[in-house]
Amino acid sequence: MVPRAQSYCDRALQIDDSLFEVRLSLGNLYTATGKYEQAEAEFLHAIAIEPKSDAAYRSLGRTYLAREQEGNAEEAFLHAIQLAPENPAGHSALADFHYALGRFPQAIAAYGEAVKRDPDDPGAYLGLGAAKYLNGDFAGTEAAWRKSLSLDGNQPILLYNMGTVFFFEKRFDDALEMYRRAIEINPEDQTAWGAIGDAYRFIGGKKPESAAAYATAIELAERMFQVNPKNVEVASALGRLYATTNRPDKAKEFLDIALTIGSEDMYMWYDRSLTYLALGRIDESIVAVEQLVAKGYSTDILASDVMFAEIAADPRFRMIIEKSAP
């Protein structure tokens, strides 16, 4: 599918290399496959053709973020808003940027701007709730997610997020129901399949079901990694999945890959800490937790995360949480 799409774009540019939409599509294709330098070139070419395109600047910003060029990314997102201040997509893109870097108060403000401009956008409320959750505002989270759910009850990400809240509350059966509903809508979601494996594992007595869910998650994640070998979310997830299923060599391989391509990614450190934990490398797990918190992860959530139950009483783990408490 990817080679075919690129072939269509290349063919169109041979006819007319000034086609803005083709340049934009080709850039997005390069971004999806981890070819970030080529993506940047296409987006800059698109901007040269249509310098007032806020969509091109948003896409350019996402590419800069993927390359860990945070300053350039923020500049691109802000310029997109400057070009089209009433377009909620620009504010949501800026919010996603802040969220990815663990800047949750800034993300909340930007999602709020998106909601002001489109109060019927379920995605904006979804992001707003997620940012409030990681900022410790649990009541605000519930309100935002209920609003999102009322606008669109078939959002797999929202169902997954609600399942994760239940999981942290140790309501594993309820979490499992949410995760199952998510994959009914999107059966290719490796994240939800991995979460199903986790839920079965903590319910207990469901080892075959857990193993089957993890196997599906690994298969889907490997497929995604083949499409984009620079996707840090997928690489770090594979490390944790392989460690959890007792494949230490593969886990170590993806530990190295994830660190190389996404050392500044907060969620990579979350998976990294759990990967080391599953491998029995407690000291390295603690170091990864320190990095996770340093990059903005909520210690309130961390303290209640059942995934860290094995080290919850470790004095070093407790010190990280207490040291970061307000």
- Cα–Cα distance between 28 and 40 in angstroms, integer? 9
| Predicted confidence (pLDDT) at residue 14 exceeds the cutoff of 80 | no
CATH number of 228-326: 1.25.40
Q: For residue range 165-196, list pLDDT tens digits in order.
A: 899 889 999 999 999 999 999 999 999 999 99
Confidence class for position 22, pLDDT limits 50, 70, 90: confident
Provide the whole-model pTM.
Answer: 0.79
Where do we find the tokens 């945070």?
Answer: 70
**pLDDT tier at 12 (50, 70, 90 boundaries)?**
very low
Domain at 1-85, CATH from 1.25.40.10, 1.10.10.10, 1.10.3720.10, 1.10.760.10: 1.25.40.10
Enumerate residues 6+ apart whose C-beta is below 8 A from 144: 125, 126, 128, 129, 132
Listed by start position, the domains of the chain span 1-85, 96-152, 228-326
Q: What pLDDT sits at residue 29?
A: 87
Tens of pLDDT along 219-245? 999 999 999 999 999 999 999 999 999
The band of 32, judged by pLDDT with boundaries at 50, 70 and 90, is: confident
Please write the tens of the pLDDT for every residue from 113-170: 999 999 999 999 999 999 999 888 888 998 999 999 999 988 999 999 999 889 988 9
| Beta-carbon contacts of residue 305 (< 8 Å; ≥ 6 apart) | 168
The CATH number of 96-152 is 1.25.40.10
Mean pLDDT of the chain: 92
Per-residue pLDDT of 35-89, as tens digits, reads: 999 999 999 999 999 999 999 999 999 999 999 899 999 999 999 999 999 999 9
3-state secondary structure 128-160: HHHHHHHCCCHHHHHHHHHHHHHHCCCCHHHHH
Name the band, by pLDDT with cuts 50, 70 and 90, for residue 17.
Answer: low
Instruction: Give pLDDT, residue 194.
Output: 98
Q: Shortest CA distance to 126 belongs to which of 151, 98, 154, 158?
A: 158
Domains 96-152 and 228-326 share a fold: yes
Position 45, amino acid: H
Identify the residue whose tokens are 């994959």.
Answer: 183
The confidence score (pLDDT) of residue 86 equals 97
pLDDT the model gives residue 323: 83
- Residue 6 has a pLDDT of 56
Which of 144 and 324 is assigned the larger pLDDT?
144
